[in-house]
Amino acid sequence: MATWIDNLREWNYDLAPVATWIMDTIDYQAVRYGPIAYVVAVLIVIMLLLSFPPTRGLTKSICSVIFKQVMTYVQLVASLLTVQLVAFLARFTLTLFHKARIWVVETFRRARE
């Protein structure tokens, strides 16, 4: 059985053996190190695509679109959490105000008696 390097030496540029070797390597690293191996593999693929001039423009476009989408999602989640926090603090402050008002009224009533 010829390895993928042997296939390249024979001028056989079929991508199947190379893809199989890469997936086996990634699966091995994922089992060994955990899910962070997938992140590292994706970063390596992105760096390879950025280093090759014909694919650089498309790769930069895809990466920028994904980055913008992630940032938009983070901003939406942060704004929704901020609104929920402000609403909670407003309800809490209003509750404390009414309890303090009742306490002051009761204190004045007791002081008169």
| Amino acid at residue number 14 | D
Distances from the Cα of 3 to the Cα of 9, 20, 21, 70, 83, angstroms: 10, 11, 9, 40, 58
Retrieve residue 9's tokens.
């030496």
Domain ranges of the chain: 1-51, 57-113
User: What pLDDT, on a 0 to 100 scale, did the predictor assign at position 22?
Assistant: 83
3-class DSSP state of 71: helix
Q: What is the pLDDT of residue 3?
A: 78
Q: What is the pTM of this model?
A: 0.59
Q: Angle at which helices 15-33 and 36-51 pack, to 10 degrees?
A: 140
Q: Which residue has the tokens 């992140």?
A: 39
3-state helix/strand/coil string of 93-111: HHHHHHHHHHHHHHHHHHH
Per-residue pLDDT of the chain (113 residues; tens, 9 = 90+): 777 778 778 877 777 877 888 889 888 988 999 889 889 888 998 998 899 888 899 999 999 999 999 999 999 999 999 999 999 999 999 999 999 999 999 999 999 98
Model pLDDT, residue 10: 81
